[in-house]
Structure 1
Amino acid sequence: MLDGYERYRSFRVGMPVEGVLCITLDRPGALNALDKTAHAELSAIWPQADRDARVRSVLLNAEGRAFSAGGDFTFLQEVVGSHAARVKAWHEVRDFVHNILNCTKPIVSAIQGPAVGGGLAAALLADISIASRTARLLDGHTRLGVVPGDHALLIWPLLCSLAKVKYHLMLCEPLTGAEAERIGLVSLAVDEAELQQKALDTAARLAGGAPTALRWTKHALNNWVRAAGPHFDTALALELIGFGSPGAQEGLAALQERRRPDFRRGSE
C-alpha cells in the first residue's frame, strides 16, 4: 500500500509508474462487489489523490476476472429497508460522482469482465475508459425496480445517442466492450491480454504530459457534465425514492433468488 493510503481496505493503492496512482479493486472472491465500506472509500480517495503532489494521473482497475459486480446484497437490503439509509446513500452517491468529476488529475479506467453498479459508474466517469472487447457492461437499475440514478442519466447521453441510452437502460441490455466502443460509451476497446498494459501506458502518458494544460482541459470539458447536473439530481432523487417502493423489494428479492422479477406483484 502506498504511503498515506493505508486506511483503505476495499482496494490496493500503489504507484507502478512515477506519477501514476493505481487504485485496484481487490475483492476478487466477491467479483469486486461494492459494499457500504467500498462505496465510502471509493468516494473518499479522489479528493486525497487530488491533493497529493506525487500524483499526476490515476489508473482505476480491478483484480480478478470481474471489474465489479455492483452493490452487494447487504448494502442494497439496507437501502431498501430504511429511510435513513436511503438519505445517507443519497449524500454518498452524490459525493461519489462529484468527487470523481472534480478530481483535477486525469483518470484512466481499465474494465474487464462484468462491470455493474457503482464500479461501472466510476469506470465510465473516468476521463479515458478502456475496456476489454469481451467485457460485459450492464446498468441493471430498472431490473432492480429503480431509476438508474447513480451516473447513467448524467453521463450516458453525453457519450452516445439518446436512442441507444434508452434501449440499454430501459431494457437492462448488456454491452460488450467492443459494442460500448462502437457506440461511444467507452474511449477504447482492446484484447483482454492487452488491457492492463494499455491502460497503464495511457496513464503514464498523461502523467508525463503538461499538468496544467491537462487539468484545465479536463475541467473545461467536464463543464458539459456539470451542465447536466439537474438531470443527475433528479435521477438520483428518483432512484432513492424508488428504493422504498414495492418494485424495488421485488427486484431485490428476484436478484437474491436468482429469478426474473415479476413487477406485477404489488403496485408501484
Structure 2
Amino acid sequence: MSSSPVRTSVENGVATIEMNRPERRNALSPELDAALRDAFATTTHRDDVRAIVLQAAGSTFCAGADLQFLRPTPDPEGIQRHVLDRYAPLVRQIVDARVPVVAALNGSTAGAGLALALACDLRIMADDGVLVAGFSSIGFVPDSGVAYFLVRQLGYARAFEMLALSEPVPAKQCAAWGLVNRVVDAETLHNTAHALATRLAARPTKALGWTKTCLRRAQTDTLEATIEHEALYQSLAVQTNDHAEGVQAFIEKRDASFSGT
C-alpha cells in the first residue's frame, strides 16, 4: 500500500481522491490536508476530469482533526490560523470545484471530516456508517463551515441538537434528514459512488458547474438576484458545444453524447 497520505487516479473522466491514513482513521494531519489541497488543485484543472469521488482507505472516512497536532493546546490565534489556513481553503476548493464532487462515506465521519463531506455535492453513505459532529465533546464549537452547511440542510433545531449532543447519527437517519443522498451496502459503497460519478461525468460538465454556482448563491440571494444569475449563466451555457449537442439529440430523438465543452 502506498505511504502517500492521498492517492489519486483518473479513469473515464472520474478522478478519485482517496485519503490514505487508515492507521489514524484518516484524521486530518498537516500532511494529509496539504495533500488534499494539492490533489483538488490538480484534478479540478484537468480537462479530462469531469467528476470527482472523495473516498477514504480503511474503515473510517475521516475522524476529524488529528488531536495529536493540537497538543499542547494552541494559543487562541494559533487555533484560528489552524482553521483558516488549513481547513477553510480545502472546503472552498470542494465547494468551488468546477465539476461535481461525490463523497463516499464509510464508517465514521466526524468533526472537520464532516465539513469535507458536507462540502461535497452528493454523499453516498455505507449502511453501517455514522455522522458525528464531535466538537462539543472536546469543548469546541463547529468549524470549517459545519454550522453553515448543517443549519441550511437541517434547520436550526436539528442542527443544534446534532452539534450540542454530539451523538452519532446513523445512516438511515442521515438519509431521512437529507444529509446524504443514498445509503448503500458497505461492500458496494465505492462502486456505487464511482458509478454515480461516471454518470455525472457523462453529463454537460460546464452546465453542471454553473448549476452548482447558481444553487450555492441561491442559498443567500434574493429571488431577483437568483433569476439574474441564472440568466447570466444561461447566456454562457447557450454558447457551449454540449448545448448544441443536447438540442440536436432532442430533435433527432436520440441520447445526447456530451463532450464537456
Superposed counterparts of 1:22-41, under 5 Å? 22-41=16-35
Superposed counterparts of 1:153-164, under 5 Å? 153-164=147-158
Residues 1:207 and 1:226: Cα distance change in structure 2 (over 3 Å): farther
Give the alignment's TM-score, normalised by structure 1: 0.76
SS state of the match for residue 71, structure 2? helix
Q: Is 1:188 aligned to 2:182, yes or no?
A: yes
1:11 to 6, 10, 28: 6
Letter in 1 for 2:5: S
Q: Is 1:74 aligned to 2:74, yes or no?
A: no
Q: Is 1:117 aligned to 2:86, yes or no?
A: no
Q: In structure 1, how many angstroms separate the alpha carbons of the residues matched to 2:20 and 2:220? A: 30
2:95 to 91, 101, 114: 101
The answer (yes or no) to whether the contact 2:25–2:63 under 8 Å persists in 1 is yes
Letter in 1 for 2:126: S
Q: In structure 2, how many angstroms separate the alpha carbons of the residues matched to 1:36 and 1:24? A: 16
Q: In structure 1, how many angstroms separate the alpha carbons of the residues matched to 2:97 and 2:80? A: 24
- TM-superposed deviation, 1:214: 0.9
Letter in 2 for 1:75: F
The answer (yes or no) to whether the contact 1:43–1:100 under 8 Å persists in 2 is no
Superposed counterparts of 1:1-268, under 5 Å? 9-15=4-10, 17-77=11-71, 80-83=73-76, 85-89=78-82, 90-224=84-218
Question: Percentage identity across aligned positions?
Answer: 29
Once superposed, which parts of structure 1, at least 4 consecutive aligned residues long, lie more than 6 Å away?
none
Superposed CA deviations along residues 186-240 of structure 1, whole A, max 9, x for unmatched, are 111112122111100000001111112111111111224576xxxxxxxxxxxxx
Residues 1:43 and 1:128: Cα distance change in structure 2 (over 3 Å): same
- TM-superposed deviation, 1:93: 2.3
Letter in 2 for 1:47: A
The answer (yes or no) to whether the contact 2:98–2:206 under 8 Å persists in 1 is no
Letter in 1 for 2:214: A
What's the Cα RMSD here? 2.1
Question: How many pairs does the alignment contain?
Answer: 220
The answer (yes or no) to whether the contact 2:17–2:39 under 8 Å persists in 1 is no
The answer (yes or no) to whether the contact 1:134–1:178 under 8 Å persists in 2 is no
Can you give the 5+ residue segments of structure 1 that lack an aligned partner in the other structure? 228-268
Residues 1:147 and 1:83: Cα distance change in structure 2 (over 3 Å): closer
**Rg (Cα) greater in structure:** 2
